[in-house]
Amino acid sequence: MLNAALELAHDEHVTGDDLMLLKTAALLHDCGFVNAYHNHEEEGVKIAQSILPTFGYSAGQIETICAMILKTKFHARPETLLGKNTFAMQTSII
């Protein structure tokens, strides 16, 4: 998914902090599978909330990353540019 994230970020001119958040969400979006198959997105959010502060992410950045992770659910409706990119990445690799 990271490669799809980078392609979409380039196409949509996503740069700087937004690009870092998008890359982080792309890398963590399926990490919840280690705990659960169903609702792995929610488990991924818990993992992200647990580990990202140790890497210096702010509460706002973590909230944005977690929102993007949750937007990878098929029934989710993206509302922001980053959310739309995350949803597009998920569906482009299926």
User: Region 31-48: what's the mean pLDDT?
Assistant: 76
Structure-token pair, residue 64:
């944005």
Give the model confidence (pLDDT) of 53-90 as tens digits: 999 999 999 999 999 888 877 655 556 666 665 555 55
By mean pLDDT, which of 4-8, 36-40, 52-56 is the weakest? Answer: 36-40
Residue 94: the pLDDT is 40
Q: Do residues 90 and 1 make contact, with C-beta atoms less than 8 angstroms apart?
A: yes
Give counts: helices (H), strands (E), the chain. 5, 0
What's the mean per-residue pLDDT of the chain? 79
